[in-house]
Structure 1
Amino acid sequence: MKPGSQYSIRRQCRLAGISRSVIYSEPAAETETNLTLMRLIDEQYLRHPEFGYPRMTDWLRDQGYQVKHKRAARLMRLMGIQAITPGPHTSKPAPEHKIYPYLLRGMDIDRVGLVWSTDITYIPMQFGFMYLAAVID
């Protein structure tokens, strides 16, 4: 029993409904080949976010890697990326959402600071990532 804990590991696992082996197991690390493939997939996904696992598999094969579509799909799922495709009925507003009027219609924009906009994006770097925020006047 851990110091400061009222319940034994066995009791805690039973209460949580999990096996004790889950507590002591460590996930297997990805191989160097998979890490290389993941880096390539990430870089290609940034250039072509419309690529799903079939096109990503073809691209990796063109690069000289022997990859099956199941492996590419698993790595993309592990990385949390999927192809950007329009969903069904994307231009139909939800009935419960308020529709805001376009406030710039008919407005004469003749000086600085009258209208502005912002945007933010994620930029991957060699060792991590950064965010870029822009204010457009």
Structure 2
Amino acid sequence: MFSRRVLAHRVSITMEAAFCVEAVQEALAKHGRPEIFNTDQGSQFTSLEFTDVLLDAKIAISMDGKGAWRDNVFVERLWRTVKYEEVYLRAYDSVSEARASIAKYLAFYNQGRPHSSLDGRTPDEAYFGTQAMVMAA
């Protein structure tokens, strides 16, 4: 089941592994351990610092092949949408302004933006509706 809901996000202005390590540790604490974690082959994701977090949690690591955007198509499509509907339309004066504006957009994306792939529902409607159905069963 895919709801297209963005569970969490962060904005970084560097390609450092520490940022990604913090983000994945937060995701694991909030959402639990997935069986498989998929990334591209960026240096921050191939670093020992990052891969050790996944291996220590006994999470299988899947890395996209070079130029294999289809391997992570949902995230690639999300970031295309964020860029065209938010980032490219703004001239941010600072990193903090970019972070705040992107956060506001992602709240809209989850709560107010209907998706044709979700039969006109928002990601929140699809995500929380599915959760409620599972809990009722």
Q: Give the TM-score taking structure 2 as reference length.
A: 0.24
Q: Which has the higher contact order (CA 8 A, sep 6+)?
A: 2
Q: Give the TM-score taking structure 1 as reference length.
A: 0.24
Rg larger in structure: 1
More strand by share: 1
